[in-house]
Structure 1
Amino acid sequence: MDELPLDQVRTLLAVVDEGTFDAAAAALHVTPSAVSQRVKALEQRIGRVLLLRTKPVRPTESGQVVVRFARQLARLERDARADLGIAGEQGPARLPIAVNADSLATWFLPALTRVPQDPPVCFELHREDEAHTTALLREGQVMAAVTSSPDPVAGCTVRLLGLVRYLPVASPGFAARHLTGPLARDLRDAPAIVFDRRDDLQDAFVRRLSGEGTGASPVRHHVPTSEGFCDAVAAGLGWGMLPEAQAAPGLRSGELITLAPDHPMDIPLFWQQWRLDSPALAAAAGAIASVAAEALRAPA
């Protein structure tokens, strides 16, 4: 095998994006049989299974490599068209980016407003926990990600954006009801707010505060939006770790109090992106790094 046939690579990407062979056939204006034959031919050429025939289909680990290649190829083709002055045939550039909810609710959207829009760029944001955004990069679903991982995904570059400071906060009424003794002990029993089942920030804080392996209380409310999380804490449903910028208004108004002023948690955020010479991606990366430098804390 000395090359990957581009029609077969593009067909595999269409199947992954559309979810089924029939939908991919409709998008490519060919028959489902032709789609199936192209994918099988590519698998035979590479010597590996590339797709799990589920509904929707899912790429295997090898399939993810080919999907990532297909997206990079499409990006390069679009940029070449732009340089040749014929980009309008395919519409505006599309940048899929994975970003965590807290960044999305605080500093990230203002960064996107600084990305030049001539030619226009369309952002496709995928919300995911910062500890898991690199999975979307690895699968080829996004071109870049805000992540807590400093380890670059294969084929990607990584740069430190800054530190997000998280504060343990609660409403005054909640603290009066539940937090009357040693804080580490009380937080093992007091209701907590968590974003979802992957959110272990509250557990990590309690473990660090106590120096023991026990995390936060099993009594926890799942609130899967950043704004809703903040509102739930302010309403007294439980305590939680809030980004400093998001907690600041409530702390100033007295709606929130800091439970342990001397024990914030600083979480590093990194920018990972494809190692690709793309003007749109470079412009987005520059704007995001610039705003992050203003909004996040610098490393000590």
Structure 2
Amino acid sequence: MVTNREHLRTLAAVVDGGSFENAAAALHVTPSAVSQRIKALEEQSGRVLVRRSKPAAVTEAGSVLLRLARQLALLEAEADAALAGGPGRTAIALVVNADSLATWVLPALAGVDAIAFELVLDDQEHTPDRLRDGTAMAAIGSDPEPVQGCIARPLGSMTYRAVASPAFAARWCSDGWTPEAAAVAPVLVFDRKDALQDRYLTAFAPGARPPRHFVPASTQFVEAAVLGLGWGMLPDLQAAHLVADGSLVVLDGERVEEVPLYWHQWSLRSAALDAVAAAIEAEAVRVLDGATASPAPGRARRRTGPRSHA
């Protein structure tokens, strides 16, 4: 099918704005014009493309055209910059789990010029969906398999350990960290998608259902552990210096979780995407490959997906 560029641009504006009215404001046209463009695109494709919900969302068919709209916008921006003889400014939407965002991703992005980033925080299990529907052009996640039309490359891994404040440990496990202690000691959980603590408990204290505090922010999650609100699985990149200065203690020296990370991006020839990928991969080699100590003999290591911290 032949598609109208303005119609595709309008589709992207509806998704970004969440409504026809917001899309109209962004495009400087009337809501009626937006409605007519979407209707024309749907008639041309023979499918419903937009769910008239709050917020508006694309259907499965609409996601195909949304992805095309994003790709065309990226290539057009790069072409305009090349014709103007300058770097221009290209917009890149990137999905990332927040433990990575809080520790090593921002320094990588800071070294990339002429790109405006839209960072989307999401659970790693939704990363493929974000790439398929065009919400994101690239992502950091735990799945080694690329979705159709994308590539995936390994970045390294982050190591997580069960930690708590010294005061918390003295109160809840003065005789040592045991399955019995883990069954009653309050646990920190980011949100209801965060499965790291539950996976640890399944292995260490099967059937344990301790009280839990939900702390949906990466920095505050660490602060809550330091303040003794509960124990939690923290990455070495966030916790190592706090363990070193005594603010936190490692509860379990035998079990760590290795979280593999992969870089996903559209398999599209784009100088902007390539620049972001190069920066992310260089920082990953510098930080992730040297971020974890060698495991002690007999230490159990599990490979899991990253937590979706915000």
**Scaled by the length of structure 1, what TM-score is found?**
0.90
1:167 counterpart residue number: 161
For residues 235-246 of structure 1, the aligned pairs below 5 Å read: 235-246=227-238
Name the counterpart of 2:282: 290
* 1:85-104 correspondence runs (5 A): 85=84, 92-104=89-101
Q: Which moved more, 1:175-184 or 1:63-72?
A: 175-184
- Aligned residue for 1:234? 226
Query: Is it true that 1:105 corresponds to 2:102 in the alignment?
Result: yes
Q: Which residue matches 1:56?
A: 55
Deviation at 1:182, TM superposition (A): 5.8
1:193 corresponds to: 188
Counterpart residue identity of residue 245, structure 1: L
Q: Distance in 2 between matches of 1:32 and 1:284?
A: 35
State whether residues 196 and 222 of structure 1, in contact with CA within 8 Å, keep that contact through their aligned partners in structure 2: yes
Residue 188 of structure 1 aligns with an amino acid whose one-letter code is A
| One-letter identity of the residue aligned with 1:147 | G
TM-superposed CA distance for 1:208, in Å, is 2.2
Distance verdict in 2 for CA 1:269–1:215, change over 3 Å: farther
Question: 1:94-147 CA deviation, whole Å, 9 max, x = no partner?
Answer: 1111111111111111111232x2xx2122212223333333223312211111
C-alpha distance in 1, partners of 2:129/2:122? 10
Identity among equivalent pairs (%):
49
Deviation of 1:168 after TM superposition, in Å, equals 0.6
How many Å apart are 1:87 and its aligned residue? 6.5
Tell me, in whole angstroms, the C-alpha distance in 1 between the residues paired with 2:264 and 2:201.
30
Q: Which runs of 4+ in 1 moved over 6 A?
A: none
- d(CA) in 2 for partners of 1:46 and 1:166? 47
Which amino acid letter does the alignment assign opposite residue 145 of structure 1? A
CA contact (8 A) 2:94 2:118 kept: yes
Aligned partners of 2:63 and 2:133 also within 8 Å = yes
Find the aligned partners of 1:112 and 1:250 in 2 and give their Cα distance. 26
Please give the per-residue CA displacement for 1:39-80, whole angstroms capped at 9, x wherever unaligned: 112112212111111122111121122111100110011111
Determine the C-alpha separation between the residues in 1 that align with 2:287 and 2:209: 29
1:23-42: per-residue Cα shift (whole Å, max 9, x none)? 32233333322221221121
Please give the alpha-carbon distance, in whole angstroms, between the structure 1 residues aligned to 2:227 and 2:26: 48
| Unpaired segments ≥5 residues, structure 1 | none
* Whole-angstrom CA distance in 2 between matches of 1:186 and 1:138: 44
2:186–2:213 contact (8 Å) kept in structure 1: yes
Q: Give the C-alpha shift of residue 175 in structure 1.
A: 1.4
Alignment equivalent of 1:114, drawn from 111, 114, 117: 111
CA distance in 1, matches of 2:177, 2:77: 59
Report the count of equivalent residues.
291
**Residue number among 253, 263, 271 corresponding to 2:245 in the alignment:** 253
The 5 A counterparts of 1:118-267 are: 120-179=114-173, 180=175, 183-210=178-205, 212=206, 214=207, 216-217=209-210, 219-267=211-259
Give the superposition deviation at 1:181.
5.6
* Alignment-derived partner of residue 26 in structure 1: 25
SS of equivalent to 1:124: strand
1:280 is matched with which residue?
272
Name the counterpart of 1:3. 2
Partner Cα distance (2:177, 2:99) in 1? 29
Distance in 2 between residues matched to 1:5 and 1:18, nearest whole Å: 20
The Cα shift of 1:225 comes to 1.3
Give the aligned residue type for 2:202. Answer: R
Q: CA RMSD in A?
A: 2.1
Contact 2:81 2:89 in 1 (8 A): no
Q: Take 2:45 and 2:93, find their aligned partners in 1: how far apart are those partners? A: 27
Decide whether the 8 Å contact of 1:192 with 1:239 is kept in 2: yes
Q: Deviations over 1:152-198 (max 9, x none)?
A: 22221111111100011011221122123662332122100011111
